[in-house]
Structure 1
Amino acid sequence: MSDTPKTDFIREIIAADLASGKHATTITRFPPEPNGYLHIGHAKAICLNFGIARENAASGARCHLRFDDTNPAKEETEYVESIKSDVKWLGFDWGENLFFASDYFEFFYECAVALINKGLAYVDRQTAEQIKETRGNLTVPGKESPYRDTPPEENLDLFTRMRAGEFKEGEAVLRAKIDMASPNMNLRDPVIYRIMHAHHHNTGDAWCIYPMYDYAHPLEDAVEKITHSLCTLEFEIHRPLYDWVIEHCPVPAKPRQIEFARLNLTYTVMSKRKLLQLVKEGLVEGWDDPRMPTLSGLRRRGYPAAAIRHFCQRIGITKYNGTTDVALLEFDVRDHLNTVVPRRMAVLDPLKLVIENWPAGESEEVEIDNHPKDPAMGTRTLKLSREVWIERDDFQEEPEKKYFRLGPGRYVRLRGGYIVHCTGFNKDAEGRITEVHCEYLPGTKGADAPEGVKCKAAIHWVSVEHGVDAEVRLYDRLFTEADPDDAEGGFVTVINPDSLTKVRAYVEPELAGVEPEFSCQFERLGYFVADQKDHRPGVHLVFNRTVALRDSWK
């Protein structure tokens, strides 16, 4: 599985800029707001920005990790630390290039003062409702504020007093003076500063005025001398304001904003607001719930970082929005795990199989390969005994057509061991099969079936005597509809009630000692990982299903 990127229009632009000498190197940035955990959509932006820096490392290219922390009401240190952890886990390192927008607050303020002195910004004392009412719409131009022509000296005095904390929230804002008749609503004298008496995770209580994103974003890029500011398509309509700020403020560099299509996945919501709602309403068990599309959730579910990187490389970078089938992501995860993780045996829906001609109290070692196509992974030794657990659906009282596993009078091989012949079964009062009886065929361990014996299948098993109890969590897609955002009644109405099923299972003894995040294939069942938080070796075993062996979603 290769991480080699496809050629795309952004990389072509960068290559041309480097070839022409416009830029000696490339500086990109990944600028998350620390108001939630990163999700799979952010992975696409991370792979793009850090990937371009890695590809152009010979010219000294770099990618900054910058926290756009301009809204203290929604941002927390917890989110900062989770983002740093996720970026590193995904395989990227920012080195010395870690920045916070809040580190530039004084610079933002100086730029605002420069705009005021040029007559390009003014303090507006209207209410938020009044400002909204006078913005107009796509067919009606906005109405100028009665404060629009306030002299620069007076605006500067008011802005200074705003910073000093003389006004309450909502009593005044600073607006850029651009064009109230512009067809682009973002240019109709946008608010660039608002008052917020809130504690900031990085600057504490030093500030009570905070810049708006559309104002801070270009200034952050400029002060860091970003060459190519890569944004998703929803920022395309904001680009004229981005360029206006760069043009009229005293900045040390002029970055270029380029937009690309964001990642949308079926059966998934990407909105941070909606993900936060799932967490706050207890519809999931936190940001790192394995059903969540967050990177921490995907990691806890057992998704490998390499598979996510490959998925982002596969879907590529385009200029047009679309929706990718989540099955493609699951395919990349399955494809990667198939080659790198060992095999183990576990029984999730246990049915006891008694080998009647096996001596009671005795066991025999069987050697099983850890990977059928990779001898380098070696083998392991398990003990086969008189009683073993098998999967309930590996026995049928009345076998259907093309069913080759166990049934009355039928033969099947126990994985790595002997061929057994079913001799009978027991039922309880409700008619449920409680136990299956069989006899093993001596001489068939590691050997073909004797003449006249039809054995077309091998099944996995766990010794009753030597197996270990475990909790297995069967995760599935969180939503039942491909487009939960479009569901009538809202996305929470189409949450899949079967997105998590917990079962008591039996696993082979070696799994009792594995550490959290150990990943393997439970033979014939799927790929599983020891839970990052709840799995305790030798004490409480918890395994999460990462993905089934094949896509069975309907």
Structure 2
Amino acid sequence: MSDKPANFLTNAIDADLANGKHTHIVTRFPPEPNGYLHIGHAKSICLNFGLAQQYNGECNLRFDDTNPEKESQEYIDSIQADIKWLGFQWAGEVRYSSSYFDTLYEYALHLIRNGDAYVCELTAEQAREYRGTLTEPGKNSPFRDRSVEENLELFEQMRRGDFDEGRCSLRAKIDMASPNMNLRDPVLYRIRKVVHHQTGDKWCIYPSYDFTHGQSDALEGITHSICTLEFEDHRPLYEWFLDKLPVPCKPRQYEFARLNVNYTVTSKRKLKRLVDENVVSGWNDPRMPTISGMRRRGIPAAALRNFCDMVGTNRSDGVVDLGMLDFAIREELNENAPRAMCVLNPLKVVFTNIAEDHLEMVTAPVHPNKEEMGNRSLPFTREIYIDREDFSEDTSLSRKKFKRLVMGDYVRLRSAYVIKAEEVIKDDQGEIIELRASVVEGTVGANPPEDIRPRGVIHWVSASKGVKATVRVYDRLFNHETPDRGSDDFMQHLNPHSLEILENCWVEPGLEVLPPESCFQFEREGYFCIDQHDSSPEHLVLNKTIGLKDVWERKTS
């Protein structure tokens, strides 16, 4: 057992174990392979796999592949990769709803033989009219009272492909007057003459999600079928099928509140539109709320798991502030990310009192609070880069307001010398192109003389030994708190400043040979990672994961 706080699901499982209803817990994660997983799915993954771990049970991965027109192997592969990256492993082999198509077909025949299903020839438009509304009952299909023999023959013709798509469907015979719209004779099978990525051209009829889901749970011995609240109204149908069919067991469905995060869109349809219209570079663009996008941005799997734990599990819908995720990311990276130095907007500094070929190795900790992570060596040379924002010609700036380098004053370079700014070199347009300075001898790892008081500490990189890099600075993709609600097109709320590409950045040597996805805290800049796709030792590409503190401001222009 874990020390995680109890919730309504753990209370239910505890009760089932205590009264002997179950002795072994089996959950499942059943994604549709029609898109990439997003942050909402991460919550479901952590919940289903986490409960299985907590109770020494099992969690199955089962692809709900009943809609082959929108499914592909690409999505199947990405989903498996996401689950593994999050730190979970499913029980046994990967499962597919399509593996149960033969059994589901037999179950459909069972319903027909018992008078609980019929072949209906209403068109889609007619079926909507017959279905009724939330305030008015539906009416029976004129095909509802066909004989068992006629229904069996028509369903066999559907299976053989004798009918065109949309000509007819198999429906359950429940109650067209039910206040629950899901019980108004739902569709069990529809004709789809497409090749399936798992079963090929064996089938031209495919079962509906509602008909597939519960029976697949039963066939796998699922004890607790956990889904989001939008399926609460489907639970009576889930239970109706289990009661009517000769299933090996009867799982119980439980619903929890889905994860909604502000400034975020999670609709697969809308995310696909962002990809199709080239608003982003793909499903794994670091601005996307997909798991693969968050991974590429450098968000640690542990931070995402911790965030899901922080959100908790309940039955009340709400919206979580994106700042909670940011907090979890910073907590994880601050604790574990090694430190390094990077100059995003370089200004060259030339030291006039050391030799041109000067090369000195200075030592800096890999992590200031973890001695076990060791030290790193940094080359100090006659020419270095500092950030332009770390220098000012304005000598009137007070030390309290500007703790960086000012003309004629001193500052310490991180883990290196105290230096003094002495001369500014400008181009014909008056832009500073170079700074001349001097080092204060004997100040590496030591205090300067009493009459020298550095304003502060700034970061730097050797100009001759540093590595040039491209840095992508990301911001929120949307500048509206609820971009996909209301009548406005969510695309109107895109943040035009969500990506800035900096081509002339410099990092300390050694980072270019580290593996993709390596994360760092660039001192005084934030947390960054090596891009998993575009970076190479010859061309280092870094993605900004998050700043050291929340300085995001809503930008509308």
1:545 aligns with 2:541: no
Match of 2:335 in 1: 339
1:112 to 79, 83, 108: 108
Q: Deviations over 1:325-350 (max 9, x none)?
A: 11111111111111112111111100
- More deviation, 431-440/413-422: 431-440
Q: Normalization by structure 1: what TM-score?
A: 0.97
The answer to whether the 8 A contact 1:487-1:493 is kept is no
- Alignment-mate amino acid for residue 434 of structure 2: E
The answer to whether the 8 A contact 1:64-1:94 is kept is yes
1:128 to 124, 147, 150: 124
- Percent identical pairs in the alignment equals 54
- Alignment-mate amino acid for residue 54 of structure 2: E
- More deviation, 140-149/395-404: 395-404
- More deviation, 334-343/168-177: 334-343
2:275 aligned counterpart, secondary structure: helix
Match of 2:521 in 1: 521
Q: CA deviation at 1:411?
A: 1.0
Runs of 4+ in 1 over 6 A off after TM superposition: none
1:71 aligns with 2:70: no
The answer to whether the 8 A contact 1:6-1:313 is kept is no
Q: CA deviation at 1:114?
A: 1.0
The answer to whether the 8 A contact 1:35-1:79 is kept is yes
Q: CA deviation at 1:235?
A: 0.3
2:406 aligned counterpart, secondary structure: coil
In structure 2, relative to structure 1, the CA distance for the partners of 1:44 and 1:4 (3 Å cut) is farther
1:145 aligned counterpart, secondary structure: coil
2:392 aligned counterpart, secondary structure: coil
2:52 aligned counterpart, secondary structure: helix
The answer to whether the 8 A contact 2:407-2:423 is kept is yes
Separation (CA, whole Å) in 1 of partners of 2:427 and 2:146:
89
- Alignment-mate amino acid for residue 503 of structure 1: L
Separation (CA, whole Å) in 2 of partners of 1:512 and 1:70:
45
Match of 2:510 in 1: 510
Q: CA deviation at 1:98?
A: 2.2
The answer to whether the 8 A contact 1:4-1:313 is kept is no
Separation (CA, whole Å) in 1 of partners of 2:156 and 2:413:
80
Match of 1:412 in 2: 411
The answer to whether the 8 A contact 1:49-1:63 is kept is yes
Match of 1:260 in 2: 256
Q: CA deviation at 1:107?
A: 1.0
The answer to whether the 8 A contact 1:462-1:506 is kept is yes
- Residues 144-543 of structure 1: matches in 2 within 5 Å? 144-398=140-394, 400-401=397-398, 402-486=401-485, 489-504=488-503, 505-537=505-537, 539-543=538-542
1:509 aligned counterpart, secondary structure: coil
Match of 1:19 in 2: 18
Q: CA deviation at 1:365?
A: 1.7
- Alignment-mate amino acid for residue 303 of structure 2: A
The answer to whether the 8 A contact 2:61-2:91 is kept is no
1:101 aligns with 2:97: yes
Q: CA deviation at 1:452?
A: 2.3
1:134 aligned counterpart, secondary structure: helix
- More deviation, 474-483/68-77: 474-483
Number of aligned positions between the proteins: 548
- Alignment-mate amino acid for residue 144 of structure 1: N
The answer to whether the 8 A contact 2:261-2:321 is kept is yes
Q: CA deviation at 1:298?
A: 0.9
The answer to whether the 8 A contact 1:364-1:384 is kept is yes
The answer to whether the 8 A contact 2:403-2:457 is kept is no
Separation (CA, whole Å) in 1 of partners of 2:313 and 2:541:
38
Q: Deviations over 1:491-514 (max 9, x none)?
A: 111111211111121111111211
Separation (CA, whole Å) in 2 of partners of 1:451 and 1:443:
13
1:484 aligned counterpart, secondary structure: coil
Separation (CA, whole Å) in 2 of partners of 1:475 and 1:553:
11
The answer to whether the 8 A contact 1:353-1:388 is kept is yes
| Root mean square deviation, CA, Å | 1.3
Structure 2 alignment gaps of length 5 or more: none
Q: CA deviation at 1:276?
A: 1.1
Match of 1:47 in 2: 46
- Alignment-mate amino acid for residue 526 of structure 2: G
Q: CA deviation at 1:4?
A: 4.9
- Alignment-mate amino acid for residue 411 of structure 1: Y
The answer to whether the 8 A contact 1:423-1:438 is kept is yes
Separation (CA, whole Å) in 2 of partners of 1:194 and 1:450:
85
Q: Deviations over 1:300-349 (max 9, x none)?
A: 11111111111111111010011111111111111111111211111110
1:486 aligned counterpart, secondary structure: coil
- More deviation, 389-398/447-456: 447-456
Separation (CA, whole Å) in 1 of partners of 2:490 and 2:327:
25
The answer to whether the 8 A contact 2:405-2:455 is kept is no
Q: Deviations over 1:490-546 (max 9, x none)?
A: 111111121111112111111121121111111111111111011112x11111111
Q: Deviations over 1:177-222 (max 9, x none)?
A: 1111111111111111100000100000000000110111111111
The answer to whether the 8 A contact 1:481-1:487 is kept is no
The answer to whether the 8 A contact 2:465-2:509 is kept is yes
Structure 1 alignment gaps of length 5 or more: none
